[in-house]
A and B are shown apart, each in its own frame.
Chain A
């Protein structure tokens, strides 16, 4: 336990020092503010309040940005330490390999959590006050977005560890991380859309598509946030149409990223245990 906290604290300290936290906060904040400013225009016409519109836009932004930030945080975790020779030192000390990974995970999730909380928190407050206050429950939506974004980020941090532990070069790990991002948040959805268009009889749309949608942690995250803010009021999206047929609904949708996180952590621990530095 001692080792876990020591490693986590050091990761957080490095995240603060190398401006990772500042940089990713600013990126999230910048994108979020753009959405806040652009999103206030349609907000006037629809009955939904502006903050809710912003939360809906931000959850779509999260699907792209949060996994990217998470993977960029994680790809260096094992491969980079092997490169620099510090993994040998850590593994030579009386700390179990599982504890090393859990410590890094806690540290990286905290780093990501701080960035997401700052970025979205400030954007949410700006949207709230820019529209002259209003319903406080809209801020609950911002809080929900922050918490679920951190869960989504944790999932991709754990998946990033698999990439980082499977290869020996940091460069390869980085390429693998980008490939995972591209597949999970871009190509996967495109493939699903293609599947919907191709299947004429509707079997795919009815029986397979909802499962495949929930299976992807990024899509599951979007589904949950959209259903939570009653997406129908804000506009349609990929999940909106399939809402009724989903195998999981409401909070249960978030089981997908959580299950992925646990699975990925277990798998990367197994790989790390087999590494012979």
Chain B
């Protein structure tokens, strides 16, 4: 099946600032893609281009074959901005019904999406009585109504507690299962909890990674950390044997490549009773993200202005 989002060499220049440089990105139906980057990396700019609010200064972009912002594109796209404050005087149901009508969605959908985001009980209360999490879920309900073929979510999980975050990823996984494409942005990998199919990382307007998370983990090739705790009387001999750095007077910390892990572990087990405990930690999602969002920070391969 053909891609819903097809961006080719998209660049966006605001006066002196290059917001996006030569970004190419595809999103297929049923795919969930996370767009990562610092504040100002170009995530929201890309969303605004996809919505047709602004036109890229170079490159081409299409949404299911339509120009962004055209009637055809707007009919299949749903959007959740990073910050939105719905009219406080309206009830949750009225807000969702409003957007359902604008999108020409059947009104039966309203109750269904309210149920999905767990707002049925509060649906007839005014938005002003909602908690922050409930407002966030109302925003999601508004985006889900009308079964959009492409869901654009700008930092949808910021401010959600871990439990609602998990529920949120279940919801968008369901959208993807039904064939909808999801493009969501986030500050960091740890917020994603490895829930999306693919991760695209923007750094200063350039796409520095675009691959499944496991590929990124392999590509980053960050060292694995091994901590060995020994009895205080034996710590010196363990340090002499294994090398590495002394920590807290009772532990030794080693870093190794993925391929070396088993060899080092067997050496540690060879030390026998000298070792009290071993702790192995693979690189965290945040470390991987930091690796990609900072990679080549100094070489700055930015084109001329």
Contacts and interface: CB of A to CB of B under 8 A. Distances in A.
A6 B87 contact: no
Interface string A2-24: 11001100100110011000000
Interface string A28-42: 000000000000000
Contacts, number: 68
A47 interface: no
A241 interface: no
A199 B37 CA distance: 67
A134 interface: no
A93 B102 contact: yes
Interface in B52-102: 53-54, 71, 74-75, 77-79, 81-87, 89-90, 94, 98-99, 101-102
5 contacts: A3-B101, A6-B101, A86-B87, A89-B81, A91-B53
A258 interface: no
Nearest to A6: B101
B85 A88 contact: no
B246 interface: no
B187 interface: no
A94 interface: yes
A92 interface: yes
Interface in B145-202: none
A6 B84 contact: no
A95 B74 CA distance: 9
B104 to A, nearest CB: 7
Contacts of B83: 85
Contact of B51 (A17, A86, A88): A88
B51 to A, nearest CB: 5
A134 to B, nearest CB: 42
A91 B78 CA distance: 11
A94 B84 CA distance: 19
B116 interface: no
Interface of B: 48, 51, 53-54, 71, 74-75, 77-79, 81-87, 89-90, 94, 98-99, 101-104, 126, 142
| Chain A facing B: main interface SS | helix
A85 B101 CA distance: 19
Interface string A122-156: 00000000000000000000000000000000000
Contacts of B94: 10, 13
A84 B53 contact: no
Give the top 3 A-B pairs by smallest Cβ distance, nearest first.
Answer: A17-B89, A85-B84, A93-B102
B104 A92 contact: no
B103 A93 contact: yes
Nearest to B77: A92
Contacts of A93: 74, 99, 102-103
B54 A276 contact: yes
Contacts of A18: 89
Contact of B101 (A2, A14, A88, A89): A2
A84 B71 contact: no
A89 B89 contact: no
B101 A86 contact: no
A262 B202 CA distance: 46
Given A88-B53, A89-B79, A89-B84, A95 B102 contact: yes
A92 B85 contact: no
B86 A3 contact: no
Interface in A89-112: 89-95
B74 A94 contact: yes
Given A14-B89, A276-B53, A277-B53, A92 B84 contact: no
A3 B105 CA distance: 12
Given A6-B98, A93-B99, A94-B71, A86 B86 contact: yes
A276 B81 contact: no
B89 A92 contact: no
Given A14-B87, A92-B74, A2 B48 contact: no
Contacts of B84: 84-86, 88-89
Contacts of A90: 102
B189 to A, nearest CB: 26
Contacts of B75: 94
B177 to A, nearest CB: 24
Contacts of B85: 84-86
B98 A10 contact: yes
A276 B44 CA distance: 13
B89 A2 contact: no
Contacts of A276: 48, 53-54
Contacts of A86: 84-87
Contacts of B103: 93-94
Given A89-B84, A93-B74, 14 more contacts: A3-B102, A13-B90, A14-B87, A14-B89, A85-B82, A85-B83, A85-B84, A86-B87, A89-B99, A89-B142, A91-B51, A94-B75, A276-B53, A277-B48
